[in-house]
Structures are given as C-alpha cells and as structure tokens.
Amino acid sequence: MKFEFVPVDYDYFDFEGRNYVKLVGRNEKGKKVCVVDSYEPNFYVILKKGAKPDKVVKKIEGIEVSKASRTSKVLKTEVVDKKFLGKDVKAIRVFVTNHKDLHDVASEIGDMKEIEVRREYDLQIISKYIKENGVDPLMWHSVEGDILGVDDFGGIADAFDVDICVGAKKIMKLKEEKEFKPKILAYDIETDDVELGKGEILMVSLYGEGIKKVLTWKKCDKVQDYVECFKDEGEMIEKFVEYVNEYDPDILTGYFSDGFDLPYLKAASQKNKVKLALGVDGKGPTFTRGRIPSGKINGIVHVDLFRFVDAVFSQYLQSETLSLNEVAGELVGESKEDFDFNKLPHMTDKDWYSFFSYNLQDAVVTFKLAEKLWPDMLEFSKIVKEPLFEVTRDRMSSHVENYLLHNLDRFDEISEKRPGHDEIGRRRAMGKYEGAFVFEPSPGLYDNLVMFDFTSMYASVIVSYNLSKATFDGKDFEKEPGFFPIMLGEIIEKRKTHKKEFAKNPSGMLRARSNAYKLLANAAYGYQGFFGARYYCREAAAATAKFAKDNILKAIDTIEKKGYKIIYGDTDSIAFLQGDKSKKDVLKFLKEINADLPGIMELDLEDFYGRGLFVSKRGNAGGAKKKYALVDSKGKIKIRGFETVRRDWCKLTRHLQSEVLSKILKDGNEKKALELLKKILEDLKRRKINLDDLMMRTQLRRPLNEYLAEGPHVVAARKMEAEGIPVSPGMVIEYFIGEGTGKRVGDRVYLPEEKAKYDMDYYLNNQILPAVENIFDVFDVSVKEIAEGEKQEKLF
DNA sequence: GCGGCGCTTATACC
DNA sequence: ACCGGTATAAGCGCCGC
C-alpha cells in the first residue's frame, strides 16, 4: 500500500538481534499509523593520512562481540572518501548488527597504527536514522509498504493500539510543504501533598478539542457538568487512561509534568495497582534518566511545556518566574484561577467547586499555551531535525549541535565525538577568556541620543572571520570557509529572509521559523565555548569575543572622529549624542561605517531616543555600566539594569523607581519625581504601605545545606521547611523584613503569613533610598537630606 | 562591640 | 553540567582593633 505520512514519535526495537525504527504518526486521513523501518547501524573508522585500509578492513570484518543477551558482529565494511573537521580523509564505514554494540565493536578494533580515530558510535540511533534515511520529524512523506501481520516482528502490529501498522519498503519526503495539525490534549493533577507519592491525587483535569473534564473521587455532587466522580483514586486514574486512549492525541501535554504530574500518576497507579496504560503499546510511561527525568509515553509525545519554555524561551520572556500563571499570562494573555491551598484540610462544598474549576482552568491554560507554542515546537523540530520529544526538552547547545549534525552530510563530514569525562574536566579547568567591551558612561541626563547596534554580532563575527574548530590550525583561522561558519551564515541568511516574509505576511509559522533561526544564531557563539560541545573550540570563542571587541572599539572611534559624543556602549551597541546633526545625516554616516565593515558584519540603527539617564555606581564616583533608562520618540521607556527590573527588590521600591525614572525622562527634570518620593516616604513612615508591596522575592538556587552564607532568603526557606512546606532549588522564596533585634537582616525575616510590623528603617535605608539616591544625585539632590528633613518635620 | 573587607549570592545585560 | 563573559550590589561572616 502507499499513503502519505507524518512521523511524530520515534522509537526503536530489536528483533532477532537487529534494530528497527518504529515511527508513529498520522496519515493523510488523520488515522494514527505506525511505520516500521529497518536501519543499518554503522560507524566510521578514520584512517591516518596515507594509511592503507586493507589490513584494517580485514581485522574489522572478523569482529564479533558477545554480550549476555546477544552477539553482535560486523556485517560489512565500505571504504569511503569523507571529510573530518574539514580535511579529506579515507575512512572505513563499519556496519554492525546492533546499534547498542557500536561502542563495543569500536573498542574491539582497538588502536592500530593505521587508525586515526573512530567516530559516530556515540550518536543516538534515532538521530542517525533520521540523518541517514532522511525521514524528518513532522514532515510529510509518502510511504510504500505492507500492512504488518501477526507473524511480523513477533506480532508487534497487534501489540500497538494504532489504526494501521505498516512495514516500510520505501519512504520519500513529499516535495511540497503541507500543514500538520496535531491532536493536543492537556492535563493537570491536583494533590494534597506536593511531595511525590506522599499524598493522593484528588483530581485530574483534561482539556482538548471536544473534551473538557475534571475527574475526581473526592466530591460527588453533580453541580459542575464537567466533573465526573469515581469511587476511589485508582478508578479515577483508570478513567483518565481511558479518556486519553479514546481521544488518541499526538501530544499529551502538561506544565511541569515531567517533574510532577506524570511521575505522581505513575506512583499513584502503582499504589492503587491499576495500569497507567497511556502508550499505544499498552504500557505506562517510562522515565529517562538525566538531570531532570523525562516522561516518555510510547506512540504519544508527552510534552512538558515548562521544559520547552525554560530551555528555549525563558531568557526572552518578561516573566519573572516560569510559573504557568506568569508564562501563560505573558504568552496567551490568560491566567490561572486562584485557589487557596490552605483550605485543603477543611474544605466546604463551595471550596470543592472552586477547586474543580481551578483544576480545569489549569488544563485549559496549558492547552492554550501548547497551541501558542506549537508553531515554535514544530519549526524547531523541522529545523534541527530531531523528534518533538527531544526538541521540547533539549537546551540551546543541543539544538545547535543537532542542526550541525543533521547538515554534515552536505559537507561529507563525519561527526566529531562528544567529549568524555576527562576532556570535559580539562575544558572546564581552562578558566575564562576575555569577553565583551562595556563603555563606562558619565552619569547624567542626556537629550537626543542615537543607538547603533551590530546585527547578530557574535554570529556575524564567526562567519566573517571563519572561526571554528575545523578552521583552526592550532595558531590561526584558515581562509577556506569551514562548515560551521558556512552553516551559521545560512542560519543568519534564513533568519533575514523569514523575518522579511513575516513582515509582509505575518503568520505564527513564519514568526516561529524566523525566531528559531534567530535563537540558533544567538546560541552558536556560546556553543563553541561550551565544555560539553562536540565542536568545542575555546580559541574560536575567545577570538569571536576579541574580534567583536575590536569592531565595536573601531566603530566607537569612527563615530567619535565624526564629532559625536559617545555616551554608552555594551558588547554590540553604541549610544551617542545626535548633537546638531539631522537624522538623515546620522543614517548617511551609518552607511559609510557599514561600507568598511568586514565580511557580513552589519551596523544597524537601533533607535533614536529623546532622553537618556545614566547614573553612578553605589558608593563610587564612576558611572554604572548596564544600568540606564531611555525614552523613545513615542514616549516609551526602556529601563535596563535598574532595581525596577530586578525581581529581588520589593514592589514598593520597583514601582517608585520606575515612576521616578519615567517622570524624569518625560519632564526633563526631577521636580515631580521628588514630590512622589516625598509622598512615599510619608506613607512608609505612617505605616500606610501594603505588606504585599514590601515582599522580597529571591530564588533558591541550590539545596539548603549547600549554602555557605545564610542570606535572608535562605533563612526564610528554612522557616518554610520548619513549617512543613517543602522547599527545593528553583523556588522563589517570599519574605519581608520586620521589626526585631537581630544584627543580621536575616534575623528579621518573616514569611508572608507571619504577623509582624514591617521594619521601617530597613525599607527606608536598604530599599527606597538606595534605589533613588543615584538617580537624584544626577540633579545634585540629596535624598538622604530629604529623608532626614521628613524626620525632622515629623518630630516637630 | 564595631567597622572594614573579602566572599557569597542573586540577578541583570548583551 | 547541559551556550559565553561582564557587571552591580546586598548581606554574611570573619578579622582586627
């Protein structure tokens, strides 16, 4: 039979000692299809320059490796002309019966004087399959094959709960790009104890197209039509499984579900002795080990949206935490409902109804977030050619590496290996190299600023100067363009093209595509300096930073020589005074600068700004770097580095400072800002400030026992633990400073629920004054004196 | 008991 | 451990007096 097919989930299995890849996806009719394809595991033995392959081939062909469960042997060899790190090499491609034994066979070959290195025995089988067979994730293919019968592959067709199971004869990518819309199902659980296995699952919500349910066993009124009630936890879980199977999703998604919902469900199903048969194989989820366990379900892609957001988007989001509420609020404009978990021990009927509603809303929000992020997941998957499961969990370094890996064949390149433990140790011990240039500004309020910035500076430096592992000869970087800079150049080019297309014809797909290329370009520099990278090259990373620095310094010099006054600059941006020049003059000058820039490097106009404020460092006379505020021609204010944008300062401070900056930038003087400050000082002293505005929020970044210094947030976290609230790394700890006698700030730490008077002096001297002091200093206004004055007035 | 200072820690910028 | 270096600043904790 022949049909169209889009692979969504990739897996492999062994049959009679050989590897087969199992693809699960949809056909053109929307049916769930499993396609079994054969795969020939192989790796390369790269020969030394001038070495003859014959002797090596002979040794290799006789190799057999016996393990407890199977014997793996070399099936065939091919002598091939390839490239390795840009150099022509002769290599022997070694085909082995089982992928899992590649490493052992490679070791068995051992060191022969003819052999330079062995490579590609350390790649994932699925990655190699995609790379060699070209069956790319989420792309439409035409498949020719036979429906599998009960006798094929030990009867796997029967074991899989899919519409059709086919043994592939031929799989070809379709020429035209066709849309694929996955069936997404979102879920969320609520428990009475957040610690895994300790509590019970009170309810499970499901939300997708045509499904909207809360399953529970706690409260059986038929008040909300979407609530279904069951006899116990086990029965509820069984029904959850049934609904998932019935809905037959491509994607089952949760938020933090790798770390919470799915493992909790698994533990609860074991406790209740019910099957969590979510997979098409009728089996429960498995958890791959790693820093964070990943929950895998056979034939369905389990997507933990938190992982994807955390790994790929977090640095570009405004959200101060990656909670579902904040992230969904920012990305889909929808937020969660409120529920007070303190009510749990004594729930009224009404409390239960609002709890159900809350639980449902979480699944709804998760579903909407999944729909919103779908174009991004899809594009990342298509671009780096890795399955959805991996793509939604990989960090940017892996994305860069996968992009390289899946494009190596165009360059005839054999893949470099992953660094081993010792190599990683050596790389990490190397220490830092010199990085970016930051211009020290003179504190002051400036009118009419121009900001230039280099587009994708580090990436364009890598391309323009050909900086990479394969183009480094130990001393200099070669002229002949290497595959890394070439690919990066393509990435930058594609980003440009898709950005333009998007501007002309906006769509979620184009936005996501353009964005994915942008993120890849931005991560390429860090990748070469990352100790875990296959194509790690410290010299390339250091040279990138150095050439970037040379270029910004040269541009600054050019701009200065033209008669402009430089105000600020950081890494790839330069701010200077427009002076008496017209915007047209500035743009003409920009063109002149661009004409002299090397390679693909490009200086761009970032914007014109009406005013800009720069302050001094605390205690020191020098100008503070990475701290400034600008206002553009539309009156939009851009604040960088100030306490306003730091989540570890209380709201009162942040709001006040933001208002102060805004007034100063808009009015051009400090008068109104000063009035505002006085009002807040007054409110603070009259104890009129809301406690919520005084809450401090600091992230716990390691387990409590690993702290050498006990900062206020660590004290707060210990208090929480003492009260039975579990704390863990990553949590944002909330507390306020109240009155007390202790010497340390930490001695006066109170949790939000604790009853205490706020420490007026602390909030005055450690929050408000420090945040506005340097700003008013620019106008020679001493806020210390003003605060003192207020005190005097009050006394009299 | 207190001020100074180095160190630890969190968070931001690009 | 899961992309890099540069920078600000608070608060702890130890030292010397």
Which DSSP string corresponds to A340-390?
A: -GGGGGG--HHHHHHHHHHHHHHHHHHHHHHHHHHHHHHHHHHHHT--HHH
pLDDT(A793) > 60: no
Q: Write a three-state SS string for A605-664.
A: EEEEEEEEEEEECCCCCCEEEEEEEEEECCCCEEEECCHHHCCCCCHHHHHHHHHHHHHH
Q: What's the mean pLDDT in A580-586?
A: 97
Q: How far is CA A669 from CA A210, A578, A614, A657, in A?
A: 58, 20, 14, 15
- CA–CA separation, A612 vs A637, rounded Å? 10
Q: A285: burial class by Cβ within 10 Å (0-12, 13-18, 19+)?
A: buried
Strand B proximal to A728 Cβ, under 7 A: no
The nucleotide whose C1' lies nearest the CA of A519 is C3
User: Quick one: angle between helices A483-504 and A508-528, nearest 10?
Assistant: 150
User: Quick one: angle between helices A457-465 and A538-561, nearest 10?
Assistant: 110
Window A500-559, strand C contacts by Cβ < 7 Å: 522-523, 525-527, 529-532, 541, 545
Eight-state DSSP code of residue A179: -
Lowest mean pLDDT among A309-313, A421-425, A724-728, A766-770: A724-728
- Strand C bases, protein C-beta under 7 A: 1-13
pTM over 0.75: yes
- Rounded to whole angstroms, the distance from the CA of residue A480 to the C1' of nucleotide C8 is 42
- Rounded to whole angstroms, the distance from the CA of residue A302 to the C1' of nucleotide C2 is 21
- CA–CA separation, A534 vs A295, rounded Å? 26
Strand B proximal to A320 Cβ, under 7 A: yes
Strand B proximal to A549 Cβ, under 7 A: no
Mean pLDDT taken over chain A:
94
Tokens representing A113 are 């004087």
Residue A352 identity: W
The per-residue pLDDT for range A699-754, each reduced to its tens digit, is 999 999 999 999 999 999 999 999 988 899 999 999 999 998 888 999 999 999 99
Strand C proximal to A766 Cβ, under 7 A: yes
User: Quick one: angle between helices A396-405 and A483-504, nearest 10?
Assistant: 110
The per-residue pLDDT for range A560-575, each reduced to its tens digit, is 999 999 999 999 999 9
Q: How confident is the model at residue A790 (pLDDT cuts 50, 70, 90)?
A: low
Strand B proximal to A702 Cβ, under 7 A: yes
A164-173 and A32-38 beta bridge pairing: parallel
Strand B proximal to A606 Cβ, under 7 A: no
The nucleotide whose C1' lies nearest the CA of A712 is C11
Window A126-145, strand C contacts by Cβ < 7 Å: none
Strand C proximal to A424 Cβ, under 7 A: yes
Nearest to A17 by CA among A137, A117, A112, A153: A153
Residue A65 identity: V
Residue with nearest Cα to nucleotide B13 C1': A626
Q: What's the mean pLDDT in A782-794?
A: 73
Q: How far is CA A97 from CA A16, A43, A69, A79, A724, in A?
A: 10, 12, 13, 18, 54
pLDDT(A795) > 50: no
- CA–CA separation, A695 vs A739, rounded Å? 14
The nucleotide whose C1' lies nearest the CA of A424 is C1
Q: Write a three-state SS string for A464-517.
A: HHCCCCCCECCCCECCCCCHHHHHHHHHHHHHHHHHHHHHHCCCHHHHHHHHHH
Strand B proximal to A353 Cβ, under 7 A: no
Strand C proximal to A625 Cβ, under 7 A: yes
The nucleotide whose C1' lies nearest the CA of A618 is C9
Window A434-463, strand B contacts by Cβ < 7 Å: 436, 453, 457
A766 Cβ contact list (under 8 Å, min separation 6): A737, A745
pLDDT(A521) > 70: yes
Residue with nearest Cα to nucleotide B14 C1': A571
Eight-state DSSP code of residue A181: -
- Rounded to whole angstroms, the distance from the CA of residue A758 to the C1' of nucleotide C11 is 19
- CA–CA separation, A627 vs A757, rounded Å? 33
Residue with nearest Cα to nucleotide C13 C1': A709
Residue with nearest Cα to nucleotide C6 C1': A436
Strand B proximal to A133 Cβ, under 7 A: no
Q: How confident is the model at residue A796 (pLDDT cuts 50, 70, 90)?
A: very low
Percent of chain A with pLDDT over 90: 87
Eight-state DSSP code of residue A280: T
Q: How confident is the model at residue A791 (pLDDT cuts 50, 70, 90)?
A: low
The per-residue pLDDT for range A163-201, each reduced to its tens digit, is 999 999 999 999 998 999 999 999 999 999 888 878 999
Q: How far is CA A500 from CA A15, A463, A691, A793, in A?
A: 49, 21, 48, 61
Eight-state DSSP code of residue A571: T
CA A532 to chain centre: 17
Backbone angles phi, psi at A56, to 5 degrees: -70, -45
Strand B proximal to A543 Cβ, under 7 A: no
The per-residue pLDDT for range A295-308, each reduced to its tens digit, is 999 999 999 999 99
Strand C proximal to A19 Cβ, under 7 A: no
Residue with nearest Cα to nucleotide C11 C1': A711
Strand C proximal to A709 Cβ, under 7 A: yes
pLDDT(A242) > 80: yes
Strand B proximal to A570 Cβ, under 7 A: yes
Nearest to A544 by CA among A457, A603, A473, A602: A457
Q: How confident is the model at residue A334 (pLDDT cuts 50, 70, 90)?
A: confident
The nucleotide whose C1' lies nearest the CA of A644 is B12
Sign, CA dihedral A556-A559-A564-A570, equals negative
pLDDT of residue A792: 57
- CA–CA separation, A424 vs A50, rounded Å? 31
- Strand B bases, protein C-beta under 7 A: 7-14
Task: Quote the strand ranges of A85-229, DSSP E.
Answer: 87-96, 115-119, 141-147, 164-173, 184-191, 201-208, 211-216, 227-229
A110 Cβ contact list (under 8 Å, min separation 6): none
Q: A677: burial class by Cβ within 10 Å (0-12, 13-18, 19+)?
A: buried
Nearest to A371 by CA among A506, A213, A516, A207: A207
Strand C proximal to A642 Cβ, under 7 A: no
The nucleotide whose C1' lies nearest the CA of A529 is C4
Edge-to-edge strands, sheet with A696-699:
A696-699, A732-737, A749-750
Q: A460: burial class by Cβ within 10 Å (0-12, 13-18, 19+)?
A: buried
- CA–CA separation, A309 vs A522, rounded Å? 17
Residue with nearest Cα to nucleotide C9 C1': A618
pLDDT of residue A335: 81
- Rounded to whole angstroms, the distance from the CA of residue A707 to the C1' of nucleotide B7 is 13
Residue with nearest Cα to nucleotide B1 C1': A743
Q: Which helix (H) or strand (E) holds A733?
A: strand A732-737
Chain position carrying tokens 């498949």: A143
- CA–CA separation, A210 vs A222, rounded Å? 20
A623-632 and A637-640 beta bridge pairing: antiparallel
Residue A308 identity: F
Q: How confident is the model at residue A129 (pLDDT cuts 50, 70, 90)?
A: very high
- Rounded to whole angstroms, the distance from the CA of residue A731 to the C1' of nucleotide B11 is 15
- Rounded to whole angstroms, the distance from the CA of residue A526 to the C1' of nucleotide B7 is 28
DSSP alpha helices (H): ranges in A203-322? 233-247, 261-271, 305-308
pLDDT(A387) > 80: yes
DSSP alpha helices (H): ranges in A28-163? 54-61, 102-109, 125-133, 156-159
Strand C proximal to A430 Cβ, under 7 A: no
